Amino acid sequence: MLSTPKRALLFPILLGLSGAPLIAQAETLFNFVRPLDTVQVSTQDANLPSLTAESTPEGEILRRLTFNPAERPSVRLTPQGSSWDWSNSEAMSLRLQSAQDWAITLNVTIESSDGKVLTTQVALPAGPAQTLLVPLAATSPNARGMRAAPPQPWSRDGQRWLLAAGVSGELDRSKVTAVTLSLSQPKAAQSILLGRFGTAEDDQQDAFYEGLMDAYGQFSRGDWPEKVKSDEQLKTAAEKEQKQLADWIAKLPQQDTYGGLLGGESFDASGFFRTEKRNGRWYLVSPEGHPFFSLGVNAVTLGQSQTYVEGRESMFKALPKEGEALAAYLGQGDNRDETGANQGRAFNHGRWFDFYGANLERTYGAKDMQRWVGQSIDRLKAWGFNTLGNWSEPDFSVSKRMPYTLPLSIQGDFAVIKTGLDWWGGMPDPFDPRFAMAAERTIAITARDHRDDPWLLGYFADNELAWGGHSDDPKVRYALAYGTLRLTTDVPAKRAFLKLLRDKYRNQQGLSKAWGIDLQAWELMEDPGFEPPLPNPEHPAIEEDFKRFQRYFADAYFKTIADSLKWHSPNHLMLGGRFAATVPEALESCAQYCDVISFNRYSPEPQQGLDMDLLRQLDKPVLISEFHFGSRDRGPFWGGVAEVYKEEERGPAYANFVKKAAQEPLIVGAHWFQYLDQPATGRLLDGENGHLGLVAITDRPWQGFVGAVRKANLELAGVIASPAEKAKNAEPEHKR
């Protein structure tokens, strides 16, 4: 209808004639269907294609708005006066519906005259109309103790509601000046249908989160084929599973004692796991001398299934009372810390409940750790796995049934460096003598009972440290260098950096010339908050010095751990640092001091996001130490870091990932994160609540998924163990 990119339209207001029920004590400010008074509506790269409204399939009368392909097409509502006074309101409301057969991500912005802004994104689903409610204050699922909110829309009292669960910013409610709806870069025209726009006295957030969980820790409002509805169902399913596991285990390919593949390549047996490169491909080699592609599962543990209940008991329909049998699965915890993972999270301490533990008792009787360990290994073997990944129960190491890995989580009072990427905390300062002492203590204790254990694959050094990342922003690429130079000289890393510069440039004149700055005195670099210049082509020394320091830092870190590990556990592999965000200097150092470089990769294929050219130059084996694919249709509310649309897509995504991993000559294994689904109301550590598991919170495997996983895992045997006739007598290229 509009012939220009932007045009203002005036409509009158009419109260209560859109055909949709009003929220109790709501105020209607505008009606797109039959306007009567005047409100200004302006569009940018969008239009109202018809002067009249249209009837939806449900018989509701709404007005069509079309967003055209553009950077950010929008519609903006503003009052005819200076502002709206929403002081007595808790939410903005809007009746709306997607006009497509697919969901649309709609951006909503609310502004006040003082420049404050509230923003949110909502997924407007296909289907009947609903009433959107946007709280007039910042909120998030984290404020309720969890990473992601329950699914939308929400039906209550016969009505459909779409609640904005995540709202950022601030607003002066007494002086609201505009509300804008927009899309981000639609590739084709997208339409929505609109009705009443106004305010509501209740944002309905409390009601939305009430009664979310049933007695088994499942989402009470949802339903899916595997949902448990009785204790008898749990017991029957467990009996059926045992027969399937026995059948699947009997059909596994030939393996040696440790899971090495028989019938293919043959290597020297060293009695421990090691690496070897042959004919352009890296291998893990089992203690008996056979190729071993490490297919692992992280967090096979009873220790990550608890969720805080204190202060939010209304979320749970049935919690045990003191004295009842399942009250044994209540406990106390405290996860308050200042990491990025916990920022803005409430309900992070107090009383918790372990739904998984309670469901195990419902199914099998009183807690029996030996039974659980045995069944877990049976499952993993039957599904084609051969390795217990990071954070798994210590009891597995004494079972002598499956190779395992161990984490080196180095804790202490040593200095740390903030890089701005500190999701799990600051970088440990390896120049601080207290770090070396903490590393020595951690490694000695961890390795004490495992020094001569052939079932131990190796050790991981810490997890997802904040090294920096590949980015066009130098403050991300050189986050470690920038973060260090901002500190005071009582931090050992700062002194180490300044010494590198002093040894190279001698004085402030030499540094000033190389960096293109006017440094009046060397002591000015010692001040806290010193801000070095950005790298630039005119002064290449800046970038050279940053790279040199970051490599120096990484060498100090990895060498400290490697030297200690060689002393305390000389026969086992050092499996790298489980990189998430990283920089080339850290990779180069890891390649020098570790036996394997490990990455936590959440992408459709393992190579995506990795610097494969650099890794091929470094020529060290690579282990994918974390990956997963989650969805939101089986109870938990978060789809994980790598999300697929529905449960049925997880199996194909897994199969593609491990196939691509096995085809890559550098990659020697891939570890799934994680064994269990996370609690739907958030795990203790940081509130993550994803459907990521092989097994549900009820201890029922996701049968379709584990079937697809098993098939994919067993197919890899042919890729890894297929004998290469020309290589049978070939000498190894590299050996550890």
Q: Is the pLDDT of residue 36 over 90?
A: no
- Pairing state between β 349-354 and 306-308: antiparallel
Instruction: Specify if 267 maps to a domain.
Output: no
* Distance, first Cα to last Cα, the chain: 71
Kindly tell me the burial class for residue 583, based on how many C-beta atoms sit within 10 Å of its own C-beta (0-12, 13-18, 19 or more). Answer: buried
Residue 232's SS3 state is helix
Residue for token pair 């986050």: 479
497 token code pair: 């950096």
Residue for token pair 């908050």: 529
pLDDT digits over 311-366, tens only?
999 999 999 999 998 999 999 999 998 888 888 899 999 999 999 999 999 999 99
- One DSSP character per residue, 345-356 reads ----EEEEEEHH
Q: Compute the distance between CA of residue 514 and CA of residue 508 in angstroms, rounded to an integer.
A: 10
Query: What is the sign, positive or negative, of the torsion defined by CA atoms of 577, 579, 581, 582?
Result: positive
Per-residue model confidence (pLDDT) at position 37: 57
Cα dist from 530 to 76, 473, 486, 496, whole Å: 44, 19, 5, 15
Q: Is the pLDDT of residue 253 over 50?
A: yes
Calculate the average pLDDT of the chain: 92
Contact between residue 190 and residue 66 where contact means Cβ atoms under 8 Å apart: yes
Contact between residue 679 and residue 625 where contact means Cβ atoms under 8 Å apart: no
Instruction: Specify if 164 maps to a domain.
Output: yes
Instruction: Specify if 569 maps to a domain.
Output: no
Q: Compute the distance between CA of residue 94 and CA of residue 86 in angstroms, rounded to an integer.
A: 15
Mean pLDDT of all residues in 123-149: 96
Q: Identify the CA nearest to 304 among candidates 686, 680, 678.
A: 678
Mean pLDDT of all residues in 689-700: 98
266 token code pair: 């043959």
Q: Residue 46: phi, psi to the nearest 5?
A: -150, 165
- One DSSP character per residue, 252-314 reads PPPB-TTSPBPSS------SS-EEEEETTEEEEE-TTS-B--EEEES--SSTT-EEE-TT-GG
Mean pLDDT of all residues in 63-67: 95
Residue for token pair 């019938």: 263
Q: Compute the distance between CA of residue 709 and CA of residue 651 in angstroms, rounded to an integer.
A: 6
Per-residue model confidence (pLDDT) at position 192: 96
What 8-state DSSP symbol labels residue 731? P
Q: Is the pLDDT of residue 68 over 70?
A: yes
Q: How many domains does the chain have?
A: 1
Q: Identify the CA nearest to 112 among candidates 88, 79, 90.
A: 79
Instruction: Specify if 285 maps to a domain.
Output: no
Residues contacting 27, CB < 8 A, separation 6+: 89, 198, 199, 200
237 token code pair: 């399913």
- One DSSP character per residue, 48-91 reads ---SS-EE-TTS-EEEEEEEPSSSS-EEEEE-SSS-B--TT-SE
411 token code pair: 């804790």
557 token code pair: 């870190």
Contact between residue 362 and residue 231 where contact means Cβ atoms under 8 Å apart: yes
Q: Compute the distance between CA of residue 415 and CA of residue 170 in angstroms, rounded to an integer.
A: 36
Residue 344's SS3 state is coil
Contact between residue 631 and residue 645 where contact means Cβ atoms under 8 Å apart: yes
pLDDT digits over 202-249, tens only?
999 999 999 999 999 999 999 999 999 999 999 999 999 999 999 999
Mean pLDDT of all residues in 36-52: 83
Mean pLDDT of all residues in 544-558: 98
Per-residue model confidence (pLDDT) at position 728: 42
Mean pLDDT of all residues in 79-104: 93
Mean pLDDT of all residues in 468-473: 88
The amino acid that residue 39 corresponds to is V
Instruction: Specify if 62 maps to a domain.
Output: yes
Per-residue model confidence (pLDDT) at position 265: 87
Instruction: Specify if 53 maps to a domain.
Output: yes
Q: Is the pLDDT of residue 674 over 70?
A: yes
Instruction: Specify if 313 maps to a domain.
Output: no
Task: Specify the range with the lowest mean pLDDT, choosing from 35-39, 59-63, 131-135, 639-643.
Answer: 35-39
Q: Is the pLDDT of residue 545 over 60?
A: yes
Q: Is the pLDDT of residue 606 over 60?
A: yes
Per-residue model confidence (pLDDT) at position 643: 97
Query: How many other CB atoms are there within 10 angstroms of residue 111's CB atom?
Result: 22
Per-residue model confidence (pLDDT) at position 724: 45
Per-residue model confidence (pLDDT) at position 35: 56
Per-residue model confidence (pLDDT) at position 71: 97
Kindly tell me the burial class for residue 390, based on how many C-beta atoms sit within 10 Å of its own C-beta (0-12, 13-18, 19 or more). Answer: buried
Per-residue model confidence (pLDDT) at position 735: 67
- Pairing state between β 46-47 and 27-31: unpaired
Q: Identify the CA nearest to 269 among candidates 255, 289, 291, 283.
A: 289
pLDDT digits over 441-456, tens only?
999 999 999 999 999 9
Per-residue model confidence (pLDDT) at position 341: 84
Per-residue model confidence (pLDDT) at position 722: 62
- In which element (H, E) is residue 470 found? none
pLDDT digits over 554-574, tens only?
999 999 999 999 999 999 999
Per-residue model confidence (pLDDT) at position 686: 95
Q: Is the pLDDT of residue 7 over 60?
A: no
Q: Compute the distance between CA of residue 557 and CA of residue 439 in angstroms, rounded to an integer.
A: 10
What 8-state DSSP symbol labels residue 112? E
Cα within 13 Å of Cα(48), Cβ side? 22
pLDDT digits over 149-188, tens only?
999 999 998 899 999 999 999 999 999 999 999 999 999 9
Per-residue model confidence (pLDDT) at position 527: 87
Q: Residue 582: phi, psi to the nearest 5?
A: -150, 175
Q: Is the pLDDT of residue 14 over 80?
A: no
Mean pLDDT of all residues in 304-308: 97
Domain that holds residue 20: 6-209
- Pairing state between β 622-627 and 667-672: parallel
Q: Is the pLDDT of residue 729 over 80?
A: no
Q: Is the pLDDT of residue 12 over 60?
A: no
Q: Identify the CA nearest to 623 among candidates 601, 602, 593, 642.
A: 601
Q: Compute the distance between CA of residue 677 and CA of residue 694 in angstroms, rounded to an integer.
A: 7
Higher-pLDDT residue of 548, 33: 548
What is the share, in percent, of the chain residues with pLDDT greater than 90? 85
The CATH number given to whatever domain includes residue 88 is 2.60.120.430
Per-residue model confidence (pLDDT) at position 26: 60
Is the preceding omega at residue 674 within 30 degrees of 0, hence cis?
A: yes
Q: Compute the distance between CA of residue 253 and CA of residue 717 in angstroms, rounded to an integer.
A: 8
Name the band, by pLDDT with cuts 50, 70 and 90, for residue 270.
Answer: very high
Instruction: Specify if 725 maps to a domain.
Output: no
Per-residue model confidence (pLDDT) at position 726: 38
